[in-house]
Structure 1
Amino acid sequence: MSPVSSLWFKWKSLRLPWRKSLLVGSDLSGNTYWEFKDALNAVRRRRIVKFNPNTHYADVQVTPQWHQWLRHVRADPPSIQEQQQDIVRQLQIKQLAQLADERWASKPSYLDMPQSNQPKPATQTTDATLDAAAQEHSHESTQSGAASTAETQAKPAESDPVAKGDPWAKARGVPGHEWQPDSWAPKTSQR
Structure 2
Amino acid sequence: MSSSPRAIRSFWYRWKSFKFPWRKRWLVGSDLTGNTYWEFKDALNQNRVRRIVKYNRHAHLGDVKLSPQWIQWLRHTRFEAPTITEQQHDEIRLHQIKLLAAEADKRWASKPSVLDAPEKQQPMLPLRPKDLAADAPQTEPEQKEGVISHVGSPDELKEHAEGKDIDHGRFKGKTKEKRKSPWKQQRGVPGDDWQPRAWTPGSSKRS
Shorter-chain TM-score range? 0.5 to 0.7
Of the three residues 6, 11, 35, the one matched with 2:10 is: 6
1:23 alignment counterpart: 27
> What RMSD, in angstroms, separates the aligned Cα atoms of the two structures?
3.6
SS in 2 for 1:34: strand
Q: Report the CA distance between 1:158 and its aligned residue.
A: 3.1
5+ residue gaps, structure 2: 133-151, 166-180, 185-207
Show CA shifts across 1:130-187 (max 9, x none).
8xxxxx958x59xx9xxxxxxxxxxxx6339xx8639xxxxxxxxxxxxxxxxxxxxx
CA distance in 1, matches of 2:30, 2:105: 35
**Structure 1 residues 12-41: Cα deviation after superposition (integer angstroms, max 9, x where no partner):** 110111110110000000000000012243
- The amino acid across from 2:57 in the alignment is P
Letter in 1 for 2:124: P
1:98 alignment partner in structure 2: 102
* 1:111 to partner: Cα distance: 4.5
- Residue in structure 2 matched with residue 117 of structure 1 by the alignment: 122
Per the normalisation by structure 2, the TM-score is 0.57
In structure 2, what residue type is equivalent to 1:158?
G
Q: Structure 1: 5+ residue runs without aligned partners?
A: 131-135, 145-156, 167-191
Residue 96 of structure 1 aligns to a residue whose secondary structure is: helix
1:158 aligns with one of 159, 163, 172: 163
Higher relative contact order (CA 8 A, sep 6+): 1
Q: In 2, distance between residues paired with 1:76 and 1:100?
A: 36
Deviations along 1:27-86, one digit per CA (max 9) or x if unpaired, are 000000000012243364100000000011110000000000000111000000000000
Equivalent position SS for 2:40: strand
For these two proteins, the number of residue pairs brought into alignment is 146
Change (3 A) 1:120 1:43: farther
For residue 105 of structure 1, report the CA deviation from its aligned partner. Answer: 2.1
Kindly indicate whether residue 56 of structure 2 is the aligned counterpart of residue 45 of structure 1.
Answer: no
When you count helix as a share of all residues, which structure comes out higher? 1
Name the amino acid aligned to 1:73. T
Instruction: Determine which structure has more spread, i.e. the larger CA radius of gyration.
Output: 2
